[in-house]
């Protein structure tokens, strides 16, 4: 059985010094070879693994025939951000996991092919089928993956879509969270420009709840509202010394570098501290992104501390491998207990405790427990906390009648509608976790919104 064509990547020694993409993308020959491996199943299981329901054999068939622009058209029927998905989706858990070839050999590299198609034929956006404009206005709050997907689908159905974004640039986590070396901002700009060409209006610098309220949006003749404000509120561990200088949460560090482009300071105005011996705490994609970013800012050593083992890390396998090849040191079964500062309140060490895995917990993972008196200190001058996020509370607190659960997530029904009629929600603010999950919810919510508007 044929083996998959591996995605070429840049030498770790070179790439760890810059922010350019790690994976360089298939050449035409590599693409053709990989696309031709696809069996073109009549009843494809791969598509069932895709949260936005892309017709996978359909687009691969065009690629195998060396017709990337037709392939993009197939992708765009279902996916409003294919260049993003080809790069950041955890395909190994989704489409590629269900590929029939994977049963006995290696799955088709669906993500790599998706990326090839969009890289080659990106501008080709002309013939996307857009329904006749209905003139009915829908507002989307938040321009992250969920909002852009929901808004994009509603546009295609003929609605007049306006997206409100609190920051000065659209894209949500794709803009401020995922680094340039995984998703170049140029690629994101192209995706967003394509949506604008379809008629999406994006209004920046507008914090719904503060700048204008949900009620005001309804008064301005929006007929439905989709809330996708994400989970932006960082979690702090609640241990001594967490407010010492140069202890950052990953969101702050990544916003400085990705959104504010502080890697190019002082050409750009926003400063960022360049740690020499950096400690990152966490095991998710955000932790990997933070560690690899710190390395690229010139760190001599980057240690990643995680309380379980590498097997339990939520980060993508590919990112873990990339991180390790670049020289990130993984310290597993270890948890911080306090941060130690110098006389000027700058962090100088992390006191850690060793852990062992105990019984299985609700999440199906073994619960880590402390090993008594195993404390030891790791010297550091910069700590980045990547412990997850809580739902952003601003909009929910300021919107009357919008019900949330005890953690602050917006409660929705089977149709993605909230407790306020005409207000829908999706993505991390209802408990989503990944980019593609948010996009999947955005897509389903768009269908529900259209259904709701038709009934009115």
Partner 1 sequence: MYKIVSKKEIGPKVQTYEIYAPEIARNAKAGQFVIFRIDDKGERVPLTVAGADPQKGLVRIIFQETGKSTMQLASLCEGDCIKDFAGPLGRPTEIKKYGTVVAAAGGVGTAEVLPVIKELKKAGNRIITVIGARCKDLVILEDELKRESDLLLFATNDGTLGIKGFVTDVLKDIISKEKIDIMYAIGPVPMMKAVAELTRSERIKTLVSLNPIMLDGTGMCGACRVSIGGKIKFVCVDGPEFDAHCVNWEELVSRLELFKNLEKISIDKFKYNQECKCHKK
> Which helix or strand (DSSP H or E) is residue 376 part of?
strand 376-379
**Closest separation between CB of residue 239 and partner 1, Å?**
11
Q: How many residues bind partner 1 (CB under 8 A)?
A: 40
- Interface with partner 1, residue 265, by CB under 8 A: yes
Under DSSP, the state recorded for 48 is G
- Interface with partner 1, residue 204, by CB under 8 A: yes
- Interface with partner 1, residue 193, by CB under 8 A: no
Q: Which range, of 3-11, 267-275, 369-377, 406-414, touches partner 1 by CB under 8 A?
A: 267-275
Residue (159 or 263) nearer to partner 1, CB:
263
- Interface with partner 1, residue 256, by CB under 8 A: yes
**Closest separation between CB of residue 251 and partner 1, Å?**
5
Q: Are 89 and 112 in contact (CB under 8 A)?
A: no
Quick one: residue 136, left, alpha or beta (phi over 0 = left, psi -120 to 50 = alpha)?
beta
**Closest separation between CB of residue 171 and partner 1, Å?**
14
Q: Which range, of 130-138, 202-210, 296-304, 365-373, touches partner 1 by CB under 8 A?
A: 202-210
Contacting partner 1 (CB under 8 A), which of 6, 17, 123, 268? 268
- From residue 380 to residue 419, what is the string marking binding to partner 1 with x (rule CB under 8 A)? ------------xxx-------------------------
Q: Which range, of 46-54, 83-91, 256-264, 321-329, touches partner 1 by CB under 8 A?
A: 256-264
Interactions with partner 1, residue window 211-250 (CB under 8 A): 211-212, 232-234, 236, 238, 242-243, 245-246, 248-249
Residue (13 or 210) nearer to partner 1, CB:
210
Residue (92 or 252) nearer to partner 1, CB:
252
Contacting partner 1 (CB under 8 A), which of 266, 373, 406, 456? 266
Q: Which range, of 36-44, 108-116, 189-197, 253-261, touches partner 1 by CB under 8 A?
A: 253-261
Handedness of CA 95, 96, 102, 108 (dihedral sign): positive
**Closest separation between CB of residue 99 and partner 1, Å?**
36
Provide Rg for the chain, Cα atoms.
Answer: 23
Q: Which range, of 30-38, 259-267, 426-434, 445-453, touches partner 1 by CB under 8 A?
A: 259-267
Contacting partner 1 (CB under 8 A), which of 6, 20, 168, 215? 168
**Closest separation between CB of residue 47 and partner 1, Å?**
34
Interactions with partner 1, residue window 320-349 (CB under 8 A): 344-345
Residue (394 or 453) nearer to partner 1, CB:
394
- Interface with partner 1, residue 201, by CB under 8 A: no
Q: Which range, of 163-171, 304-312, 364-372, 402-410, touches partner 1 by CB under 8 A?
A: 163-171
| Bridge partners for 240 per DSSP | 338
Give the separation between CA 97 and CA 74, rounded to whole angstroms: 21
Residue (46 or 188) nearer to partner 1, CB:
188
Q: Enumerate binding residues for partner 1 (CB under 8 A).
A: 166-168, 204-207, 210-212, 232-234, 236, 238, 242-243, 245-246, 248-249, 251-252, 255-256, 260-261, 265-271, 273, 344-345, 392-394
């Amino acid at each position: 059985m044929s083996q998959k064509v591996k995605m070429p990547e840049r030498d770790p020694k070179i790439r760890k010094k810059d922010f350019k993409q790690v994976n360089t993308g298939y050449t035409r020959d590599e693409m053709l070879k990989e696309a031709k491996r696809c069996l073109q199943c009549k009843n494809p299981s791969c598509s069932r693994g895709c949260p936005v329901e892309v017709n996978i054999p359909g687009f691969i068939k065009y690629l195998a025939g060396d017709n990337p622009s037709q392939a993009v058209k197939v992708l765009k029927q279902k996916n409003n951000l294919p260049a993003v998905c080809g790069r950041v989706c955890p395909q190994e858990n989704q489409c590629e996991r269900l590929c029939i070839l994977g049963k006995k050999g290696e799955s088709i590299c669906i993500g790599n092919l998706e990326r090839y198609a969009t890289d080659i034929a990106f501008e080709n956006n002309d013939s996307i089928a857009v329904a006749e404009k209905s003139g009915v206005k829908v507002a989307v709050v938040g321009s992250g993956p969920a909002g852009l997907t929901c808004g994009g689908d509603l546009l295609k159905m003929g609605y007049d879509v306006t997206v409100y974004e609190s920051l000065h640039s659209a894209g949500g986590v794709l803009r401020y969270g995922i680094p340039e070396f995984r998703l170049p901002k140029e690629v994101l700009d192209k995706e967003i420009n394509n949506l604008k060409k379809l008629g999406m209006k994006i209004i920046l610098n507008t914090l719904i709840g503060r700048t204008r309220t949900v009620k005001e949006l309804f008064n301005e003749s929006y007929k439905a509202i989709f809330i996708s404000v994400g989970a932006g509120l960082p979690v702090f561990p609640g241990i001594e010394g967490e407010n010492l200088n140069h202890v950052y949460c990953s969101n702050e560090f990544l916003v400085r570098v990705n959104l504010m482009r502080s890697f190019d300071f002082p050409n750009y105005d926003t400063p960022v501290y360049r740690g020499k011996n950096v400690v990152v705490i966490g095991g998710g994609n955000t932790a990997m992104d933070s560690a690899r970013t710190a390395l690229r800012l010139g760190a001599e050593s980057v240690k990643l501390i995680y309380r379980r083992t590498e097997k339990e890390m939520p980060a993508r396998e590919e990112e873990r491998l990339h991180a390790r090849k670049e020289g990130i040191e993984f310290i597993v079964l270890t948890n911080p207990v306090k941060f130690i500062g110098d006389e000027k309140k700058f962090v100088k060490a992390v006191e850690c405790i060793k852990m062992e895995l105990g019984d299985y917990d609700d999440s199906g993972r073994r619960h880590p427990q402390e090993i008594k008196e195993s404390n030891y200190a790791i010297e550091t001058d910069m700590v980045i906390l990547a412990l997850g996020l809580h739902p952003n509370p601003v909009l929910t607190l300021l919107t009357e009648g919008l019900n949330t659960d005890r953690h602050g997530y917006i409660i929705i029904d089977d149709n993605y509608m909230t407790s306020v009629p005409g207000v829908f929600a999706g993505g991390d603010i209802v408990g989503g976790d990944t980019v593609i999950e948010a996009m999947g919810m955005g897509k389903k919510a768009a269908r529900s919104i259209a259904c709701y508007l038709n009934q009115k």
